[in-house]
Amino acid sequence: MNKRSIEGHGAIGSIVIVGGGTAGWMTAAACSRYLADGARSITLVESDEIGTVGVGEATIPPIINFNRMLDIDENAFLKATKGTFKLGIEFVNWGQQGDRYFHPFGAYGEDLHGVPFHQLWLREKHLGEPGQIADYCISAAAAAARRFGRPVRDPKSPLARLFYAFHFDAGLYAAFLRQIAERQGAKRQEGRIVKVHRHSESGDVTSVELEGGRLVEGDLFVDCSGFAGLLTAKELETPWRDWSHWLPADRAIAVPTANVGTPDPFTRSTAHGAGWQWRIPLQHRTGNGHVFSSRFMDEDAARDILLANLEGAALADPRTIRFATGRREQAWSHNVVAIGLSSGFLEPLESTSIHLIQNGIQRLLALFPGKPISPVERDEYNRGMADLFDDIRDFIILHYKATQRDDTAFWRYVRDMEIPDTLARKIDLWRLHGRVFREGADLFNVTSWVAVLLGQNIAPSAYDPVVDSLDESRVSLALRQMREGYARAAQSLPVQEEFLRRAGAWAEEPQLTGAW
C-alpha cells in the first residue's frame, strides 16, 4: 500500500520526533519497529548543539519488557551501555539518621491461604523476632550478598522469584537505540528548530522550520525536547500542574566517579540535610548526584556535601541541573504528544523517569490515531498518563512524609506538610491493620509500599485479624524455612561482575568461561 492510499484512508502518514536523547531515541526505536511499514515515515529532529540531561542511569523492571519488545539481546545491550543489574534501592538516613532499609524488586515471601505475606510477618514480629522483612525477598537477599543471577524456571526455587532492572549510561543507551531505529527505517534530521508552523483553523502543528529555512512536515509530532518543551510548553502553552509544595527539591548536582570496587547490584539513596544523594554503579564508573531544595540549601553547600561523600575520584567537574516538579495538564494536545521531560518531571528517587518515557510510548502505540485525531483516544491517553504521574507522585511524597527526622528545616517541612488526599488515605489505612491495596495500579506494588512504610518506621497498630485463623507454629516454621531458603539461594549466586563477564555482557573482553 503506498502513502497516497494510506492518506486516503485517514491514516497518519508521517511522524516527527522533536529531540533526541533517551526519550527521542526510545520513541524512534519503538515507532520504527511497529509503525514503519514502508509507507509511513518517521523522522527525528535534533541538534548536536543542544545537550541532553543524561543522568537517568537507573531503571525499574518494566524496562525489560521494552527491550524485549524491540528484540534486544540483553547481554549485548548491557555490554553496549556498560550497564549493570539492579535488584532494588538501598535507602540510608530516611526514617531517622542512621536508619538503613532496602526497597527490593519482586515480592516478599509467599502468601498463605490468600493472606498477604507481610501480614504473616507482622504477626510473627508481634510474637517474636522474625528478622528483617527484606530477608524474605530473594532480590533483597542477593543484593545484601552483592550477588546476582537471572531468575530460573523451576517454580520451587527461590531464584524463580528474582526480579531486576538495570543501571546504564543513558547516553550510550540513546546511541544504541539510534542504531536500531535507523536500521528499522527512522531518519535523523540534524538542525535547530527556529519556528513552529500551525494550521490556521485547527491549531495543529503542520511543520517545524530549521535554521536555513528547511521545513520538516508531519501529521503527528512527538515532543521529546526535554525541559524546554519546545512544542508542548512554548508553542501550545499547555498548562503546568506544579507539585513543588509537596516535592520541594528543585536542583541536582551530578558528578561521575571512578569505581572503587566491583559494582553493587543496587542503587543507593542517602538522605542529607535538604535532599538526598544517589549512587549508581556502572561497569566503567559510578554515577553520583545530590538532589536538594534551593529553598533550604544553597548550591555551594550542596556541592560541598556531594563532594565530601564520594567514594571514588571525581572524573569530571560537577554540573548543576535545575528542574521543576510537576506535569502538563495534557500530555497530548492537538497533534502533539509530549514524552519524557517535556510532559513532566518527578525527581529520580525511585528511578521512574525512563519508565514514564516507556509508558508514554507504549500507550501511544496502543492508542495510535488516524486522521483526524479523535479526542476520545487523546483523552484516554491523557487520563492514563495523568493517573500514572499522580500515583508515582504519591509514592515519592511518601518517602518524605514518612520521616521522623527533625534535624533541619527541610525535614521538618516535609514531615509536617499537608499531603494529597490519595496518599493520606493509604497511610491511614496502613496505620490501622497494615493493609495496602494496589488493584489496577500500573506501578509500585504492595511490596514497594510495605518496604517504604516499614523501612521508615511507620508500623501499623495491629496486623490483619484474619491472620489469627492460621496456626502460629506452622506459620512460624514456614517463615523460618523461607528465610533460610532465600539466604542459601542468594549465596549460591556469583558476584555481579563475575556474572556479567561470564555472560559476555562486560564491556571488556570476558576473562571467565561458562554460560549464564
Q: Which residues of 436-472 are buried (b: 16+ CB within 10 A; e: fewer)?
A: beeeeeebbebbbbbbbbbbbebebeebbeebeeeee
The structure's pTM equals 0.95
Q: Let me know how many helices (H) and strands (E) the chain has, helices first.
A: 15, 21
* Mean pLDDT score, 143-147: 97
Per-residue pLDDT at 2: 45
Residue 397, exposed/middle/buried by CB under 10 A (0-12, 13-18, 19+)? buried
Q: How far apart are CA 235 and CA 251, in angstroms?
A: 25
Cβ–Cβ < 8 Å for 225, 44: no
Read off the pLDDT of residues 178-192 as tens digits, 9 standing for 90 and up: 999 999 999 999 999
Per-residue pLDDT at 55: 54
Per the annotation, the verdict on 125 as an active-site residue is no
Least confident of 155-159, 249-253, 355-359, 437-441: 437-441
Does the N-terminal peptide bond of residue 372 adopt cis geometry, omega within 30 degrees of 0? Answer: yes
Q: Which helix or strand (DSSP H or E) is residue 254 part of?
A: strand 251-257
Per-residue pLDDT at 184: 96
Read off the pLDDT of residues 456-514 as tens digits, 9 standing for 90 and up: 999 999 999 999 999 999 999 999 999 999 999 999 999 999 999 999 999 975 444 33
Encode 276-342 in three state secondary structure: EEEEEECCCCEEEEEEECCCCCCHHHHHHHHHHCCCCCECCCCEEEECCCEEECCCEECCEEECHHH
Cβ–Cβ < 8 Å for 369, 378: yes
Read off the pLDDT of residues 379-429 as tens digits, 9 standing for 90 and up: 999 999 999 999 999 999 999 999 999 999 999 999 999 999 999 999 999
Read off the pLDDT of residues 32-75 as tens digits, 9 standing for 90 and up: 999 988 889 999 999 987 666 555 589 999 999 999 999 999 99
Instruction: Flag whether pLDDT at 171 surpasses 80.
Output: yes
The confidence band for 4, taking pLDDT boundaries of 50, 70 and 90, is very low
Read off the pLDDT of residues 73-102 as tens digits, 9 standing for 90 and up: 999 999 999 999 999 999 999 999 999 999
Which of 86, 125, 195, 371 is the catalytic position? 86
How far CA 19 is from CA of 25, 269, 336, 351, in Å, comes to 9, 30, 13, 21
Helix/strand/coil for 44: strand
Read off the pLDDT of residues 327-364 as tens digits, 9 standing for 90 and up: 999 999 999 999 999 999 999 999 999 999 999 999 99
Q: How far apart are CA 463 and CA 461, in angstroms?
A: 7
List the domain boundaries for the chain.
Answer: 1-88+165-380
Per-residue pLDDT at 38: 82
* Mean pLDDT score, 144-152: 97
At residue 264, what is the residue type? Answer: D
Q: How far apart are CA 288 and CA 309, in angstroms?
A: 10
Cβ–Cβ < 8 Å for 23, 226: yes
Per-residue pLDDT at 53: 55
**Phi and psi angles of residue 80, each rounded to the nearest 5 degrees, phi first:** -70, -30
Mean pLDDT, the chain, integer? 94
- Tell me the chain's radius of gyration from C-alpha atoms: 24
Fold category of 1-88+165-380 in CATH = FAD/NAD(P)-binding domain (3.50.50)
